Amino acid sequence: MAEIITRFAPSPTGNLHIGSARTALINFITKSKNINSKLYLRIEDTDKERSTEEFKDNILSSLKWLCIDWDNEPQIQSQNINRHCEIANKLLTDNKAYKCICSENELNERREKINSGKITSKKICVSCENNKEVQSLKKDYVIRIKIPIDGNEILEDIIQGSVEVDNSEIDDYVLIRKNGTPTYMLSVVVDDHDLGVNFIIRGDDHLNNYFRQKFIYEYMNWKVPNYAHIPLIHGEDGSKLSKRHGAVNLMDLKAQGYLPDAIINNLILLGWSPKNQDDEIIQLDNIISKFDIKDLSKSASIFSYKKLDYFNNYYLRQEKNLGLFIDYCQSNLHLQKYIMQDKEKIIRIFNTYKKDISKYEEMIKIAEIYFNINFEISKNEQFQEDFNNYFNDFFKLINKIKKWEYEIINLEIKDFLKKNNIKFPILGKPIRYLLTNDYNGPSITDIFMILGKKQSLERLNKYKI
RNA sequence: GACCCCUUCGUCUAUCGGUUAGGACACCUGGUUUUCAUCCAGGAAAGAGGAGUUCGAUUCUCCUAGGGGUCGCCA
């Protein structure tokens, strides 16, 4: 693929969300295919009311956590306001824009007529453009771009194909607000141009914006970039992914114990799949070499937590990712206590249980069983006579073991079962219950190993026939 | 409502006019197992509907239906 200059341009009005993360990811992958390509990060903070420093930091750290890297320092859009205004004034003097003083009420009335079909033109302001008095005002006006009434525009989108919209569908949108600040529509175009962006990858909720923004490029005689409008991600119910579908912020997913590899693997498979591959496990380096944005599907896809869980389980089980679990423990209030108390023990618990969990968070409850010094079984039930007959002998046997090693314990248990000619469940299930408060779970040898001899005997000792 | 986009198993997808429509997750069954699980093997499960074009349509065209996006002095 040729050299591209692309960008990811979130507004710091919320935490980084799975949908935006996917856009960032696709930008990153696309730029990573060519060593000379660039990805810039621009914080679009022109809405000062809703933008915060916290959200900005959240976005930056979420991207870093996902291993999405960008070139140069992040750009802060609000620092370029003068430049944006300069362009707006240029458009004004070139007669490509005009001042407008319509009140909110006037605009609303007009808008209502347009939307109800009473007026076919999308022109929102009809009185200001040719009003000399308005055009010579020095303050208290907005600047609107002039969109021709006739003609149409065709976008050759990398993903959407060719899309045609009549100019009559486009309104004279605002470039400069009444308070003198530039709007998103102006700022994006100016900043993208100034950065040399030649390839824009963004959500297809922006598709319609192409037909507006295009005019600024045209009026300024700037080269129009290529566009790839990627389909949005939906929740299980088919609507745009949002909070009510579950955790959608990257940092929330991190806190639950999801891994970047799993999230990336899951996200990239929405709308794309690697060729000639039966399984769906694929990591960033491999994605970068196989992915081509042209292959991305045009239709929206549903984000599934079940599939994310599958990928996460796969990655957290990898031996090489054990370090990530340790990092997680150190950042988690509950697990922190345990790892400080006995690191080896928490690792042993994790290795025993990792096939059963889909995210690290689930380890909290499990670790609690083994670290609780006041452990009690929930009901002191009496087991079958069969079990009671053997319990004391079994207790003595365990007590007798000197070398507390997996193979030794395992052999002793097998031997005991054989000698007494009993099936495992009769002995094993109640034993597991006494040790973990659960009839099901890991092999009792594993449980003995986790608890250690002293604690194992303590727990067994509480049982009175 | 107007404009734009989308439509293959429940979900994510493969198929670039001729296939027993393939895979993955989830689900079900069986096997291994020291219970539960893991693991292994197998199974059920799809071209929204209707017209055309064609010797032949999931694939190309049109219509209908359904879904989504946009319609701000937000981005």
Q: Is the minimum distance from the CB of A343 to strand B below 7 Å?
A: no
Cβ atoms within 10 Å, residue A283: 13
Establish if A377 belongs to a structural domain: no
- Protein CA A70 to sugar C1' B56 (Å): 51
Residue A313 has pLDDT above 90, yes or no: yes
What is the per-residue pLDDT across A231-270, written as a single tens digit (0 to 9) for each?
A: 999 988 888 887 878 778 999 999 999 999 999 999 999 9
What is the per-residue pLDDT across A177-236, written as a single tens digit (0 to 9) for each?
A: 999 999 999 999 999 999 999 999 999 999 999 999 999 999 999 999 999 999 999 988
Instruction: Tell me, yes or no, whether A92 and A168 share the same domain.
Output: yes
What is the per-residue pLDDT across A417-432, written as a single tens digit (0 to 9) for each?
A: 888 888 888 889 999 9
Chain B nucleotides covered by protein, CB below 7 Å: 1-8, 10-14, 22-26, 34-39, 67-75
- Protein CA A398 to sugar C1' B29 (Å): 39
Q: Is the minimum distance from the CB of A172 to strand B below 7 Å?
A: no
Residue A1 has pLDDT above 60, yes or no: no
Instruction: Tell me, yes or no, whether A52 and A200 share the same domain.
Output: yes
* Count of domains for chain A: 5
Q: Are A186 and A89 in contact (CB under 8 A)?
A: no
Q: Is the minimum distance from the CB of A121 to strand B below 7 Å?
A: no
CA proximity to A213, closest of A145, A161, A119: A145
Burial class of residue A134, CB neighbours in 10 A (0-12, 13-18, 19+): middle
The residue range of the domain holding A430 is: 385-461
Instruction: Tell me, yes or no, whether A408 and A451 share the same domain.
Output: yes
The complex's ipTM?
0.94
Instruction: Tell me, yes or no, whether A90 and A172 share the same domain.
Output: yes
Q: Is the minimum distance from the CB of A270 to strand B below 7 Å?
A: yes
Give the pLDDT mean for A435-460: 94
Residue A120 has pLDDT above 80, yes or no: no
Q: What is the CATH number of the domain that holds A299?
A: 1.10.1160.10
> In the 26-55 stretch of chain A, whose C-beta falls under 7 Å of nucleic acid strand B?
44, 46-47, 50
Residue A380 has pLDDT above 70, yes or no: no
Q: Is the minimum distance from the CB of A185 to strand B below 7 Å?
A: yes
Q: Is the minimum distance from the CB of A273 to strand B below 7 Å?
A: yes
Which nucleotide across the nucleic acid strands is nearest to A45, CA versus C1'?
Answer: B75
Whole-angstrom Cα distance, residue A349 to residue A352?
A: 5
Lookup: tokens for A380: 């002191």
Establish if A428 belongs to a structural domain: yes
